[in-house]
Structure 1
């Protein structure tokens, strides 16, 4: 029988302490995540991807409209031509003009053209127009006034502001008049009003590329800012006491406010402008179309300004 050895007894586990390192490693971990949040767990569900906002595009559809849009140098991103379409001079000219401007010409099936044109009568051809880039309607006008005040402009700023015009043909025609009579900008509200789309491009005959279009969130607030910057504001109204002929404010920095089709100027806008101006017309006619009234007004302002010059 061997003698029993003396010494410390053996114990299971480490013979030294961790010095608190184990507790430190566990600190700050927080609660255990749900199984659906653990990437390694079978119950894991990845978060739904956030959809990026898409910018809508517009398209000019039909053989004559496409030719006219290209002749007017409407900005375009792509010309689509139906596969196997029967060629005529309009389609040939459209392809030639697009190629000369570096616009891609792509074949498209009937379903693709229907989707691109929103089921419009496309006649086998469509011109895709990129989204219009609006300027800040307040900053644009304030900058124009700053240039005038500092002597960087020969003529005082002339602005056209539209009070909820909804017809794209009216907006296009107003842009044509603004370009013809040297208005500096057209201002539109961002809501409850038509924007620059393919119909506006076509109707304006390219003027939308020459006259900046600014957007404002609230037209009434924008007019207040314009007046602070030094502009006078007039509103076209059949009951205005001041007639357009020999308009006294024509040679000053001026914003011409045009009311919507039918309703005219809104109450808040009409109360905020400096002067209501009427265009004398035959008593047999109730009122003038918004775009026609704008053209007449801009012509008279241009006439008076050149008369002074």
Structure 2
């Protein structure tokens, strides 16, 4: 018995799909032998830096550099061309490579056409940082980071701290991100200007800072006072914890005061780097910013006087760290492919896209 109509039932189309044609499949022809391995991104070595801001800051700061890789586009940037010429004149090997090669070298990072192999960033001990800050002529502002393992957060904090006038960072040797290329890229050059003290025990270091006259405040959502109410005068240490766990219980006990940032929306918390930047801005607003009006320039920052001869190169964390080989395997792999050594005598006004034939002829193979 037909329920809705007396019309003859139409034959249903065949629901079976025809076999999928080979040319519709999302398949790509295999790469030539050796191509996949030569351009596949790998984890970058710890002594590599990339990105224009980070590498320019390193080149200008005079940190020892072992090798530079860059693309032809760097020739159209006069400042970079001059820095590359100076590096080559000092004996640094400068090689021109493709964007794909740089991508492999930096682990697929946004390299902006340049990477370099450099000596580790210099760090100081805590007494040297305290002594250097004693000569500032203004109230020192330091950051202490508790269990911050995300390199992007660390890089963002370093960038904000340097820009807003902090005088240094206290970083534990364990359970903390190191001063890697990822940190330097996010910091956008700030790492070359902000002193970093590596310490074995953060809480003992906080006690040392207290003995030197610093007040220690910690950022925590259960803080007893808001950021607007907090006393931010005098020599100050701002302690920030990790996003997941925040400040450890022992670190909270070593803080003179816990401060919270009130939130109005449904989002329960802020990114660690954002919360730190907000606190640093409040310190600056009450300090060097209070007399600024309109387009008046900011006062120049006073840097701690530090003995760079006593600085120590950044070391890998002891916990779970592997010894770094003398020549990183990734760097060695990158140099196995045919490379181009730059002829840096080419005029700065040349466009590598418009006169590629002349450009290629000016390169030393």
TM-score for both structures, normalised by structure 1: 0.67
Residue aligned with 2:139, SS: coil
Of 242, 245, 254 in structure 1, the residue corresponding to residue 225 of structure 2 is: 242
> Secondary structure of 1:102's partner?
helix
1:129 to 118, 123, 142: 118
Output one character per residue of 1:237-288: Cα deviation in whole Å (capped at 9) or x when no partner: 111111111422x121110000012110011001111000011122411111
Change (3 A) 1:123 1:268: closer
- Residue 79 of structure 1 contacts residue 125 of structure 1 at CA under 8 Å; is this kept in 2? no
**2:171 and 2:202 in contact (8 A); partners too:** yes
Q: Larger Cα Rg: Structure 1 or Structure 2?
A: 1
Give me the whole-angstrom Cα distance separating, in 2, the residues matched to 1:182 and 1:254. Answer: 12
Helix, strand or coil: the match of 2:166?
coil
What RMSD in Å do the two structures reach over aligned CA positions?
A: 3.1
Structure 1: unaligned runs, 5 residues or longer: 1-55
Quote how far apart the aligned CAs of 1:223 are.
Answer: 0.4
- Partner residue of 1:23? none
Whether 1:296 aligns to 2:278 is yes
Structure 2: distance between partners of 1:208 and 1:255: 19
Are 2:185 and 1:202 aligned? yes
Could you give the per-residue CA deviations for residues 146-198 of structure 1, whole angstroms, max 9, x where no partner exists? x2xxxx43311111000021111111111111111211101100011112111
Paired position in structure 2 for 1:35: none
Q: Equivalents in 2 of 1:307, 1:71: separation in Å?
A: 28
Displacement of 1:92 in angstroms is 6.0
Kindly tell me: are residues 58 and 234 of structure 1, through their superposed partners in 2, closer, same or farther at Cα, counting changes over 3 Å? same
Higher RCO structure, 1 or 2 (CA under 8 Å, sep 6+): 2
Residues 148 and 176, structure 2, Cα contact 8 Å, conserved in 1: yes
Residue in 1 aligned with 2:47?
A: 58
The yes-or-no answer on 1:231 pairing with 2:231 is no
- Distance in 2 (CA, whole Å) between partners of 1:76 and 1:271 is 41
What is the aligned length?
237
Superposed CA deviations along residues 22-41 of structure 1, whole A, max 9, x for unmatched, are xxxxxxxxxxxxxxxxxxxx
Normalising to structure 2: TM-score of the pair?
0.57
